[in-house]
Amino acid sequence: MVFKVLTLFPEVILSATNYSILKRAQQKGLIKIEAINIRDFTMNKHKRTDDYPYGGGFGMVMSAQPIIDAYESIKPAKPHRVIYLTPQGKTYTQRYAEQLSKEKEIVIICGHYEGIDQRVIDMIVTDEISIGDYVLTGGEYAALVVIDSVSRLVKGVIEEKSAQEESFSTGLLEYPQYTRPAEFRGKKVPEILLCGDHEKIRKWRRYQSLLKTIKNRPDLLENFELTNEDREFLIK
């Protein structure tokens, strides 16, 4: 999977992806992350990449010319998605990440200021994506969220089981995890996890997942089919 990121801050993208799992994935050649500096393409004599909004109003708008020229310099030969990260986009979800992970190459545009000239969106953008209902200073952190969540779905990047068994694939939040020691500052690991009875442990974990979901994300249960076992837990 190749990510080509058009940004005013290439170092933010390159430095943040140079650790841990994403670093190893790049070393193994499973993913490739390129950052293209939009400023390198401006024709403005002061190297400006933004200008005042037509119609007036607060803030600055990123100009079309440097973004389109940057895109044309790296445009993949095959059909591809061009993602523009914006709070005005469609909400990003695990399902969206799964769709994107099927692509070979993804172009990502990071906006700043009050956004980019609408003509860029009309001319090249295929997907406008928001990572949630809050406002960031720019698209770079959102781009990192997309790169990270898609990369871990690329075959070989993480152990396969982890990718499948998680929250959002079962539709419930994860159960609590514990590691050694069995007692820490007087707080004990739940007895059942030490009992060695795998069926009992499975049931306990399922119940904990249900409780956690009810407490923190009751909205997830609206589209969730409870099993008979789940119902029994909840009635008791």
Q: Which stretch binds ligand 6GU (CB under 6 A): 74-82, 93-101, 125-133, 168-176?
A: 125-133
Q: Rounded CA gap, 195 and 171, in Å?
A: 27
Q: Indicate whether 49 belongs to the interface with ligand 6GU (CB under 6 A).
A: no
Q: Are 110 and 140 in contact (CB under 8 A)?
A: yes
Give the nearer residue to ligand 6GU in terms of CB position, either 107 or 131: 131
Q: How far is the CB of 96 from ligand 6GU (least distance, A)?
A: 12
Q: Rounded CA gap, 154 and 106, in Å?
A: 13
* Number of residues located near ligand 6GU, criterion CB under 6 A: 12
Q: Which amino acid does the sequence have at 34? A: E
Given 105, 138, 201, 230, the residue binding ligand 6GU (CB under 6 A): 138
Q: Which stretch binds ligand 6GU (CB under 6 A): 14-22, 26-34, 135-143, 151-159?
A: 135-143
Q: Indicate whether 76 belongs to the interface with ligand 6GU (CB under 6 A).
A: no
Give the HSE-up count for residue 233: Cα atoms under 13 Å, Cβ half-sphere.
Answer: 17
Q: How far is the CB of 141 from ligand 6GU (least distance, A)?
A: 8
Q: Are 122 and 70 in contact (CB under 8 A)?
A: no
Question: Who contacts 83 (Cβ-Cβ below 8 Å, separation ≥6)?
Answer: 100, 106, 107, 108, 109, 125, 126, 127, 128, 129, 146
Region of residue 186 (phi > 0: left; psi between -120 and 50: alpha; otherwise: beta): left
Give the nearer residue to ligand 6GU in terms of CB position, either 128 or 174: 128
Q: Indicate whether 176 belongs to the interface with ligand 6GU (CB under 6 A).
A: no
Q: CA 78, 80, 82: angle at the middle one, nearest 5?
A: 145
Backbone angles phi, psi at 197, to 5 degrees: -90, 105
Q: Indicate whether 136 belongs to the interface with ligand 6GU (CB under 6 A).
A: yes
Q: Indicate whether 87 belongs to the interface with ligand 6GU (CB under 6 A).
A: yes
Given 135, 159, 161, 177, the residue binding ligand 6GU (CB under 6 A): 135
Give the nearer residue to ligand 6GU in terms of CB position, either 59 or 132: 132
Question: Which of helix, strand or coil describes residue 116?
Answer: strand
Given 86, 149, 209, 213, the residue binding ligand 6GU (CB under 6 A): 86
Given the rule CB under 6 A, which residues bind ligand 6GU? 85-87, 130-132, 134-136, 138-139, 142
